[in-house]
């Protein structure tokens, strides 16, 4: 019997690397169970992203009649602080404390920021909704409160994700670090899909009170998931006691990173491509609700469709890059897929077809996943020795900053064009700009695709 059980267990283990993306990220020192538990912080990040970029922005624009420009700036506020991600990563690399931890304090503080932002958000939404006409609070109180809540959640997300990915990299053997980081981003997409489905179900019968209960539940769930993810993960070290000297300052470490080949062009390509794939993020659900007359529940599920496309893109890129494929060529394929995706989204309005709209969103997710995985892998491969964490921070900073700028511009363009034309033209103008940005991304990546060196296949 024992022999049979051992054979059955071994067969399941052998199936993993063949059929599960990033299943080979586990190692003897970092088993898959511990790795999956650590990845729970990415689940909380994905859940927060769905709330901020998906459900809440649609409710404020469509149900609460807040202008798309104001909502876009609210969503973009935390993303515009994303340049701090590189600094956060560097500080967590060199943090000194009596407990001997360097990543845990940053993840814990980020978790508290997320919890605090979601905790005050329902009250801000009550004021925005004008709950009970007897309320004497002026409108700006709700707007400032909502912006502050978005800012807290966004700062918490950036801090948790940057320090958490660095911790995952610390725990993994050097030869498994790219797979571990890839697994973490896949878990974020899974978190987005699962939370989008759950939020869509809970908000099927929409009401302001139900929305408040859901936001409060998200706040508690975030804290619980992050505490479980952190538990007994980072080992303590006496080398991290206060007074221990630091090898490099942030300026020195950044200067060393910038000495790499084509650094400016690489970051430019990341910024243009990210802006192209995210400018419409705060407009997809309002587009579905206002133009195609989809319900709140249906438009919330659009986030799951977007994340599903991204998940498949990450899995596809992982398989190709694991066989020695060129990372920048993979990113180029993502940009090419994005072109017909935005054409489909634009065509959904004159066709009055939610099906075409959903197909376009899926292709946006697929192209965005290929682009993100390719640029992240290239950044890690070209990072100076010992600076993989800083390279991830720089990639994340450029990506998130470009996303914030893109979403803010998208809201402004939508409102400006809609004022002089029609709501449909307002949305379509944003999608046309994204097509142009994708063309500029392909132009910026041309020399990189020609000069990139193919990564060496793993000896393992």
SS (H, E, C) 126-183: HHHHCCCCCCCCCHHHHHHHHHHHHHHHHHHHHHHHHHHHHHHHHHCCHHHHHHHHHH
Which residue range is the domain that position 132 belongs to?
35-234+250-451
In a domain, 456, yes or no: no
Hunting for tokens 């009649």 — which residue is that? 65
In a domain, 7, yes or no: no
How many of the other CB atoms lie within 10 Å of CB of 252? 10
User: Band of the pLDDT at 112, cuts 50, 70, 90?
Assistant: very high
Cα distance between residue 149 and residue 117, in whole Å: 4
Hunting for tokens 């491509």 — which residue is that? 273
In a domain, 459, yes or no: no
Cα distance between residue 218 and residue 367, in whole Å: 29
Hunting for tokens 């809609």 — which residue is that? 418
pLDDT in tens, 329-357: 888 999 999 999 999 998 888 887 888 88
Positive or negative: CA dihedral 113, 119, 123, 124: positive
pLDDT in tens, 60-81: 777 667 777 777 777 777 776 7
Mean pLDDT lowest for which of 171-180, 359-368, 410-419? 171-180
In a domain, 371, yes or no: yes
- Give the H/E segment covering residue 245: none
Environment class of residue 415 by beta-carbon count within 10 Å: exposed (0-12), middle (13-18) or buried (19+)? middle
Give the count of domains, the chain.
1
178 Cβ contact list (under 8 Å, min separation 6): 377, 380
The answer to whether the CB of 414 falls within 8 A of the CB of 68 is yes
Cα distance between residue 40 and residue 224, in whole Å: 10
The two tokens of residue 341 are: 């995706």
The answer to whether the CB of 182 falls within 8 A of the CB of 21 is yes
Q: What confidence score (pLDDT) does residue 272 get?
A: 92
Over the Cα atoms of the chain, what is R_g? 22
The mean pLDDT value for 45-63 works out to 77
Phi/psi-derived region of residue 110, left when phi > 0, alpha when psi is between -120 and 50, beta in every other case:
alpha
Highest mean pLDDT among 43-52, 86-95, 316-325, 392-401: 43-52
Q: Give the relative orientation of helices 208-230 and 40-49 as an angle to the nearest 10 degrees.
A: 160
In a domain, 175, yes or no: yes
151 Cβ contact list (under 8 Å, min separation 6): 77, 78, 81, 117
Closest CA to 371 of 273, 305, 300: 273
pLDDT in tens, 251-283: 777 777 776 667 778 888 999 999 999 887 778
Q: How far is CA 309 from CA 246, 341, 439, in A?
A: 42, 11, 21
The two tokens of residue 28 are: 């003897």
In a domain, 29, yes or no: no
Length of the chain: 460
pTM: 0.71
In a domain, 457, yes or no: no
The DSSP code for 238 is: G
Q: What confidence score (pLDDT) does residue 414 get?
A: 87
Highest mean pLDDT among 257-261, 322-326, 362-366: 362-366
How many of the other CB atoms lie within 10 Å of CB of 240? 16
CATH code: domain of residue 443: 1.20.1250.20
In a domain, 17, yes or no: no
The answer to whether the CB of 54 falls within 8 A of the CB of 302 is yes
Phi, psi of 263 (to 5 degrees): -60, -45
Cα distance between residue 80 and residue 215, in whole Å: 23
**What percent of the chain clears pLDDT 90, i.e. is strictly above it?**
12
The DSSP code for 394 is: H
The two tokens of residue 298 are: 């249906």
User: Band of the pLDDT at 21, cuts 50, 70, 90?
Assistant: low
Cα distance between residue 111 and residue 109, in whole Å: 5
- Give the H/E segment covering residue 452: none
User: Band of the pLDDT at 453, cuts 50, 70, 90?
Assistant: very low
Residue of 73 and 50 predicted with greater confidence:
50
The DSSP code for 456 is: P
Q: What confidence score (pLDDT) does residue 212 get?
A: 81
User: Band of the pLDDT at 83, cuts 50, 70, 90?
Assistant: confident
Q: Does the structure show a pLDDT above 70 at 409?
A: yes
């Amino acid at each position: 019997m024992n022999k049979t059980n051992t054979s059955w267990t071994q067969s399941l283990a052998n199936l993993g690397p063949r059929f599960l993306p990033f299943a080979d990220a586990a190692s003897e020192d970092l088993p898959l169970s511990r790795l999956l538990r650590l990845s729970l912080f990415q689940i909380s990040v994905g859940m927060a992203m769905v709330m901020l970029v998906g459900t809440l922005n649609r409710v404020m624009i469509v149900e609460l009649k807040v202008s798309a420009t104001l909502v876009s700036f609210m969503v973009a506020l935390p993303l515009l602080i994303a340049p701090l991600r590189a600094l956060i990563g560097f500080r967590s690399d060199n943090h000194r404390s009596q407990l001997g931890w360097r990543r845990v304090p940053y993840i814990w503080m980020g978790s508290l920021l997320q919890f605090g932002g979601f905790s005050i958000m329902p009250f801000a939404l009550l004021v925005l909704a004008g709950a009970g006409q007897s309320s004497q609070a002026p409108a700006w109180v709700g707007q400032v409160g909502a912006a502050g809540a978005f800012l807290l959640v966004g700062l918490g997300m950036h801090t948790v994700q940057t320090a958490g990915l660095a911790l995952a990299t610390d725990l993994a053997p050097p030869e498994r670090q790219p797979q571990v980081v890839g697994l973490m981003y896949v878990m974020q997409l899974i978190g987005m899909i699962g939370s989008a489905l759950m939020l869509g179900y809970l908000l099927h019968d929409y009401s302001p009170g139900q929305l408040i209960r859901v936001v409060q539940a998200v706040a508690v769930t975030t804290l619980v998931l992050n505490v479980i993810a952190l538990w007994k993960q980072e080992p303590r070290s006496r080398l991290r006691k206060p007074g221990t000297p630091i090898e490099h300052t942030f300026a020195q470490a950044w200067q060393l990173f910038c000495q790499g080949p084509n650094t400016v062009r690489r970051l430019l390509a990341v910024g243009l491509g990210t802006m192209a794939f995210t400018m419409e993020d705060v407009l997809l659900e309002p587009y579905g609700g206002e133009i195609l007359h989809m319900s709140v529940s249906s438009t919330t599920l659009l986030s799951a469709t977007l994340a599903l496309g991204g998940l498949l893109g990450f899995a596809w890129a992982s398989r190709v890059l694991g066989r020695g494929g060129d990372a920048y060529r993979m990113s180029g394929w993502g940009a090419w897929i994005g072109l017909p995706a935005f054409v489909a989204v634009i065509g959904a309005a004159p066709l009055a077809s939610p099906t075409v709209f959903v197909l376009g969103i899926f292709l946006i997710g697929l192209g965005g996943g290929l682009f993100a995985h390719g640029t992240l892998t290239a950044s890690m491969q070209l990072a100076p020795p010992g600076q993989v964490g800083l390279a991830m921070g720089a990639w994340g900073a450029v990506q998130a900053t470009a996303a914030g700028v893109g979403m803010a511009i998208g809201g402004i363009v939508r409102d400006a064009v809609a004022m002089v034309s029609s709501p449909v033209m307002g949305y379509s103008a944003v999608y046309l700009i994204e097509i142009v940005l994708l063309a500029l991304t392909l132009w910026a990546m041309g020399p990189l695709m020609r000069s990139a060196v193919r990564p060496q296949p793993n000896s393992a």
